[in-house]
Every structure is written in C-alpha cells, then in structure tokens.
Amino acid sequence: MGCAVVIEVMRRLVAEGHPNILIVAATTQEETGVRGAHTAADVVHPDIGIAIEGGVAGDVPGAHPEETQARLGAGPGIFLYDFSEQPNRRLVSLIKETGKTEKIPNAV
C-alpha cells in the first residue's frame, strides 16, 4: 500500500509541479537493526523524511486494540514517536491542518 501511495504522489507532483527536490526510496527491514529508510537517509541527508507504511487496525478480527489507536476506515494515522525519531512539529501541524481542510478523517 505504501508503494502505491508513493507512486500516486509522484504522478501528481509531475503533473502539478513543485519547487522542491523529491527523492524517493522503497526500503525494507526498518524494524531490524534500523536499516531501510535510515540507510537511504544516511546517504541523501534530507531536510524532511516521510515514511509511508501500512499499520495495524485495532478493530479487526484477531487484532489487539491496546496496541494501536488506528481503526479500519477511520483515515490515516500519524506515528509521532518511535525508539529513534522525533516528529517535526511544523510538519505534523501542516499534516493535521491539511487533513481538516480536505475533510480527511484522522485515526489518531
């Protein structure tokens, strides 16, 4: 799903244009030894990194609701912290405001 989102973003940005340099990497193994996107970021040194990935919904059969606030059909979730990263507060605010403006439901 993450790759499909990234491809659609690239398609739209080509059509609309934008003033930034966009570098895209499809990676794996981010949970094992901080590989994946960290490796790409170490090479590129981006100003901002955005990871797109599938999460776990807490309201489907067999799920553990205590492990996530995400709900199926409730819109995108934003993971703000993990063991190695902290969010860019201005980017988080921009994402939340864009969601409100575009009337995108928010899972968190």
Q: Could you confirm whether 97 is annotated as catalytic?
A: no
CA 28 to chain centre: 14
Q: Which of 8, 16, 30, 53 is catalytic?
A: 30
Torsion angle (degrees, nearest 10) of CA 12, 52, 60, 69: -110
* Spatial CB neighbours of 52, under 8 Å, sequence gap ≥ 6: 2, 5, 6
Positions marked active-site: 30
